[in-house]
Structure formats: C-alpha cells, structure tokens
Structure 1
Amino acid sequence: MPIQYADGGVVAEHTAVREAVGVFDVSHLGKATVAGAGASDFVNACLTNDLGRIGPGQAQYTLCCAEDGGVVDDLIAYLVNDDEVFLVPNAANTAEVADRLRRVAPDGISVTDQHTDLAVLAVQGPRSRAVLEATGLPADLDYMAFVDVEHGGRRLRICRTGYTGEHGYELVVDSDGASDLFEALLAAAGEEGGRACGLGARDTLRTEMGYPLHGQDLSREISPLQGGARWAVGWRKDAFWGREALLGEKAEGPRRRLRALRATGRGIPRSGMPVLDGQGAVIGRTTSGTFSPSLRVGIALALVDSAAGVDLGAEVVVDVRGRPLPCEVVKPPFVPSHVR
C-alpha cells in the first residue's frame, strides 16, 4: 500500500473519501479463521468484546489483551456462525494473535492463518454504495453487517465497516482475484469522482475520527481504559484474556487517558511530543498527530496523566520541537461521522 498515489497526493485522496469515494488496497491486514464446534464461545472467552451482543452475519470491534491488560492487538471479529469466526487483525500482529488462540484451543477447534490467501479492499466515502452497485455487488447492509456472495466465479465477503468515519465497505476476496476486483472498483469510483487512496490518507482520515492505531494509541503498554477503548470490553463476561488486570484498573481508575487535541495556534503536532499544562509541567505525550485536511488545523491524540485533571475544553500546550503549540481538548471525532 503506497503512502500516496502518483496522480493523487494525501490531501486529494483524503478529500475524495470525505466528499466522494476512495478505494484502498488494505491487503496487508491480517486474516484468520477459527473453526470447529463451539468456535464462537472459544473466541468469546479469549477476546475482550462480547460476541453474544451480535448474531451471525455481523462483525464486532474487539481486543486481544495480554494477562496484564496490555493490548496485543485490536481487530475485527466476523461472526459467521456458532462454529466459525473470521478475524481481521493488524498485519504485524496476525501471527501472534493466531498463536495465542492456537495454544489454548481445545480439541476440534482450528486456527488458520490466511494472511497470504486473502486480500482486503476498502471502498470508503459517501458514494461508496454507488460504486458497489455499479460493480454488481450488494450494498444494502447495516453498519457492521456482512454478507458472503459469489462474484465473477469467486467467493466474496462484503462488510459495512471501515477506518475513515464515512459510509463504506471492506471486501475480502481470494488474493488471486484481488487485482481484477480492485480495477473494477476503481473504474466505478472514477465515475463518482473518486480515486485510489494510500496509507497517508488512511492515517489522516482515521485520526480525524479519533480512531486508535495499534502501536501508537493502543499497545502492550496502553490498556483499553487508557486508550479510550473500554467500550470494547465485555465487562460482564466471565472470561477473557486480561480480565482480572482490567477489572483492577477499572476499579482504581486508569493513571492516564487518551485525549483529543485540536491546535488553536499554527503548527502540526506529531506523535511522541510532550504535552504541557499551563505552568509548563509535562503531563503527557502525543501518540498520533497530523494536519487535518478537513479542518485545516493540526490535531492529535495524546496520553495525559489522569491526575492533571485535563477535561473537555481545557487548554494545553504541545512542545513542537521546542516551540509551544496551544491546543484545546475536544471530544472526538474531530469531524462529523457519517458511518452510521
């Protein structure tokens, strides 16, 4: 996946997704299937969110945590039926997630890494539905619902998900059929004023929505409570990896929290920059930061000490390589969401 396409650029690609449609090749994402009698119950006892909240044909954002509550990965779980769950982890973490599941899987349940067998294409933006329909694909899906279809002699899984905040879809297809499908989607997108989009636009789009990136906003050192993902934890479940540690942190309160910062001065915050209070004391550090093409200002996500009492509307300063950048604490998303 390129940072940007030669005929595009990050801002042009970002704008296409917000105003029309963009097509992403996100085949670097992981893919794995857990299958066998009781597979859904097994996955539910491992990952944080509660698969009991959804039914077959629906997908769910969830977390794979370590026993200390750190986030090994955040991923999407597709509930096919009671005996099959399809997982889409982040690329670098696929092997570890699969290995963790495989090590504790009971007899009769298999965990198959399909990273190289399957590709994932994302169609995102207000004209995404028109693109799917023009390509002969079903698009009338509820948010986080999916359907398996035959298209061009190949099996295709279509889900109303995405990482941009816009109405969109992610399509899972056999790797050897991905190129033809990508070209067909791209041709239809061109008719709607859209274009191919790369990693740069993917990052600016997700940051505008306040969506976390694993390794920056969630990690082995940043728990779901610290990273703003407590909603993805099934607190009433009897079992999931990291349950006791997370219940303890919940009772005590996390020592730091992820905050969304919008620059009120000129400058662009980047990840890893100190966050200061009004007296110049360091109270946190940015985890993600970029220039928002939609707002035309700098925005960031930052882990801030809970003891600092930084709430909505508070003013802080980001140290941008020795230059103070005033920012306001806001509630994400930075831009309105059209995803539902």
Structure 2
Amino acid sequence: MPELRKSPLHSRHEALGAKFAEFGGWSMPLQYTSVVAEHKAVRSAVGIFDVSHLGGIRVVGPNARGFLNTCFTNDLEKIGPGQAQYTLACTRMGGVIDDIIVYLVRDDHLFCVPNAANNADILQLLKSSAPAAIEVTNEHTVYAKVAVQGPQSDEVLAALGAPVDHDYMKFRSGTIAGVDVTVCRTGYTGERGYELMIPAEDAGPVWDALMDAGAAEGITPCGLGARDTLRTEMGYPLHGHELSLDIDPIEGQCSWAVGWNKPEFWGSEALKERKAQGVEQRIRALKSAGRGIPRPGMKVLNDAGEEIGFVTSGTFSPTLNVGIALAMVDVDVLPGSAVKVDIRGRQEPFSVEKPPLVEPQVRQK
C-alpha cells in the first residue's frame, strides 16, 4: 500500500494534537478536540481547515475556457475572469466522475480543483481530450489550501490586509505574512468564508499568521469530521455518496450545475435523455423525529415497512441536536413526508426535508 501523502501543514497539526485519518490518499486532520466543538465554532465564530488534499489542475492555452466547456457540465460562458464555478465531470453514460470547482483567470487560463482521490483521473481525461495548443498541468501538490469559515472570517483576513470585499464565488489576489495568496470566496460549510491557495513551501507562515490574527475572534482549528457534518446540514453533496458513477446529476439534485442548452459536454447525450425520461429516485434530506442517528447504507422505509431508498450520508447535527441524513429515495417521496430509517433493526421516524437544514450565511454581503 502506498504511503499516505502529508499536507505541508502536517507538523502544525501534530503540534495541535490532531487525530489523523486517510482522505483520498492523504493523511489529514479528522479532529483536534471534538467534531461537535469544531462544528459549533464555525457556525458561531470562525474555524480554520487544512484542505490541501484537494486536487489542482491548471489548463492554459488558446480558448482554454471553450475547451473545458466541452468537457464539464456547467456553462463556463456564464462567468467572467475572477469568478469560480461549481461543475461536474461525467462519463459518457452520465455518471459523475467528480465534482469540481473551476477558477477562471482568463479565457486562456483556468485552474480546476477536483477531489483528492479523483485528481489523477480528471488530469488524464483532460490531457487525452485537449487540443495540442492547450497545456494541462498537474499541480496537486503545488499549493496548500486552507479554508477560513464562519461569521468572523472577514475579521480574521482583514486584520492581515487580505481582500474580503468580493462576492460569493469570486476570487482575488492578496498577501498574507509576505506571501502571495489567492483568496476565494468559496467554502463547504454554508457559512460566509474563504478558501486560500498558498504556495506549498510558504504554507506554514500563512497558517501561523491566520491563527494569530484569529485569536481575538476565537479561531478554532477544525478537522474534516466537522467539515462533513457542516456540509451535511447544508445538503451539499459529497462525491462517492450523493454523486457517483451510479448517481447522476439529476438524481443527485445537481441539475442546476448542468448547462442543458450547451451543445456538448461529457455525458450530455445520456443526461439529456435521462432528463426527458425522468428518474426514479432523487437525493432528499432527512431529519430525525426521534433519537436515531442514521449512517450511510441504512434502508429508508415507508409506513408499510417497504424499502423506498437508502441513506447516502448520515450523522448527528450539532446545530439541530438530532440525527440528519441525505438519502436516495423514490421521486414521489416529497418534502413534508414521514419515513423511517432502519437503524440496527429499529424503524426510527424521520421527516423528509428540503435542504438546507440550517439557514446558510454563505451569500451574506
């Protein structure tokens, strides 16, 4: 088994007493104190996450934007330089290879951030599809990536002179601790926040500066355990759970990230046919009406005890103080319905909800 990759910030996490786990071939912090405490810090103040395991692919060349627009689902013509876009890479049959954030620097210069485990696959697909004039470069380990998330995130970055006056899904250049960084108004928590791309060799001083500047705001180092509970409350998909080779964008409730009017993208023919025909199941949010904590793979049942779906992500919500889930269920199971989840032989009651389950602050001015 290959040795796990380590973040450029690994020694900082060790010094903070982090517990580590494997994520996409990387050893990353799962938690420092507790998932619940770290989760609540993000909702109430500010948390800092190391997400350096996320991928990085640079695409440069004449009309690189046009090339990527024939690959990924969303319509890159809808954004301009300095903006980012959530999109999907699909198979010819419409399954999801990965979900990706694409940063548009210029028409001839874009940066893609896939998930860690899928970076190599997306890189190979782009390289094999790109015209000769377009260069596709693997930059998975070139940058450290740090997320500063929560209602006090502006105060932390502003104290360091970093830009915080740009809108959601936009990015700007800045300097922290003498290091040039890219400050992206993006995140995976539902809170207002930023994701920073930092040259890997300079990651330590930037992390230290953020921790020092955030001390007055109660900044809390957060692991990927809290990142998961935060995103589940928002109903944000996780590849391999709500999106996969077997769960397409329509079933995964990501139709909004498909440019249906585009003439071409990977999987376009299959997805347009599926949209016309309709799907049998879709992802919905569930909230416990009792004490049950759902976990992935558990069966979702109707009142008659018949199986109508399965849990794709399940956890305890520190904000709502109940069990919550995302689940693939029959299309006629609508928000407001009552269902049950088979939790170790007990049929626990749940309500079907429309996500997000917690009011998001991510788009706040």
- What TM-score do the two structures reach when normalised by structure 2? 0.91
Instruction: Tell me the matched-pair count.
Output: 336
- The reply to whether residue 70 of structure 1 matches residue 70 of structure 2 is no
Aligned to 2:315: 290
What code does the residue aligned with 2:64 have?
A
**Residues in 2 aligned to 1:192 and 1:149: alpha-carbon distance in whole angstroms:** 21
Q: Which residue of the other structure, out of 182, 191, 196, is the alignment partner of 1:166?
A: 191
- The reply to whether residue 338 of structure 1 matches residue 365 of structure 2 is no
**Residues in 2 aligned to 1:188 and 1:298: alpha-carbon distance in whole angstroms:** 35
- The reply to whether residue 229 of structure 1 matches residue 254 of structure 2 is yes
What code does the residue aligned with 1:334 have?
L
Q: Per-residue CA shift, 1:253-288, capped at 9, x if unaligned?
A: 112100100010111001110000110011100000
Within a 5 Å distance, the mapping from 1:301-316 to structure 2 comes to: 301-306=326-331, 309-316=332-339
Q: Per-residue CA shift, 1:120-175, capped at 9, x if unaligned?
A: 00000000000001122111110000012344443311110000000000000110
- The reply to whether residue 179 of structure 1 matches residue 199 of structure 2 is no
Aligned to 2:31: 4
Please list every run of 5 or more consecutive structure 2 residues that lacks an aligned counterpart in the other structure. Answer: 1-27
**Residues in 2 aligned to 1:190 and 1:268: alpha-carbon distance in whole angstroms:** 34
Q: How many angstroms does 1:188 deviate by?
A: 1.9
Q: Which residue of the other structure, out of 16, 24, 31, is the alignment partner of 2:41?
A: 16
Calculate the aligned-residue CA RMSD, in Å.
Answer: 0.9
Q: Which residue of the other structure, out of 308, 326, 340, is the alignment partner of 2:349?
A: 326
Contact 2:162 2:175 in 1 (8 A): no
Contact 2:177 2:205 in 1 (8 A): no
Aligned to 1:202: 227
Contact 1:23 1:189 in 2 (8 A): no
- The reply to whether residue 277 of structure 1 matches residue 269 of structure 2 is no
- The reply to whether residue 141 of structure 1 matches residue 141 of structure 2 is no
Q: Per-residue CA shift, 1:18-58, capped at 9, x if unaligned?
A: 00000000000001100011100000110000011110000
Within a 5 Å distance, the mapping from 1:76-225 to structure 2 comes to: 76-225=101-250
Q: Secondary structure at the match of 1:338?
A: coil
Q: Which residue of the other structure, out of 27, 31, 37, is the alignment partner of 2:62?
A: 37
**Residues in 1 aligned to 2:178 and 2:65: alpha-carbon distance in whole angstroms:** 29
Q: Which residue of the other structure, out of 270, 273, 289, is the alignment partner of 1:245?
A: 270
Aligned to 2:75: 50
Aligned identity (percent) is 58
**Residues in 1 aligned to 2:177 and 2:149: alpha-carbon distance in whole angstroms:** 22
Contact 1:269 1:318 in 2 (8 A): yes
**Residues in 2 aligned to 1:295 and 1:151: alpha-carbon distance in whole angstroms:** 36
Ranges of 4+ aligned residues in structure 1 off by more than 6 Å = none
Please list every run of 5 or more consecutive structure 1 residues that lacks an aligned counterpart in the other structure. Answer: none
Q: Secondary structure at the match of 1:95?
A: helix
Contact 2:160 2:176 in 1 (8 A): no
Q: How many angstroms does 1:239 deviate by?
A: 0.7
